Amino acid sequence: MEYVLIAAVVVVLAVLYAARVSGKARVWVIRIRAGVPFLVKGKISRTAVAELAEVLQRHGVRRGAIYGLNRRGAVTLGFSRGIPANCRQALRNVWSMHAR
């Protein structure tokens, strides 16, 4: 019984650590609610947000999130499960025009 408790504590600590580490890698976060994207963390141009919003609308995305992730000095995109695969590629194509 003690081992189960210790294992559960270790798992919880590992999950909390992973969430904290992954959160630091996020340069910006856009949340989509009722089909409307909102920038909730970081800075990104209004033009980029508007163009990403057009893609989301075209694909009918109502909920989800898009993350700008710092990967070796370049910002790449990450997505929540609510963003379909074909929409993800279209978003990457738009982002490639705005990434610096």
pLDDT tens, residue by residue, 43-82: 888 888 888 889 999 999 989 999 988 887 788 889 998 8
Question: What percent of the chain clears pLDDT 70, i.e. is strictly above it?
Answer: 90
Q: Are 83 and 94 in contact (CB under 8 A)?
A: no
Residue type, 64: G
Residue type, 22: S
Residue 91 in any domain: the answer is yes
Q: How confident is the model at residue 22 (pLDDT cuts 50, 70, 90)?
A: low
Residue 75 in any domain: the answer is yes
Residue 17 in any domain: the answer is no
Helices (H) and strands (E) in the chain, counts: 3, 4
Instruction: Tally the domains of the chain.
Output: 1
CB atoms within 10 A of CB 87: 19
Instruction: Give dist(CA 50, CA 52) in Å, integer.
Output: 5
Q: How confident is the model at residue 24 (pLDDT cuts 50, 70, 90)?
A: low
The pLDDT of residue 31: 92
Domain that holds residue 69: 25-98
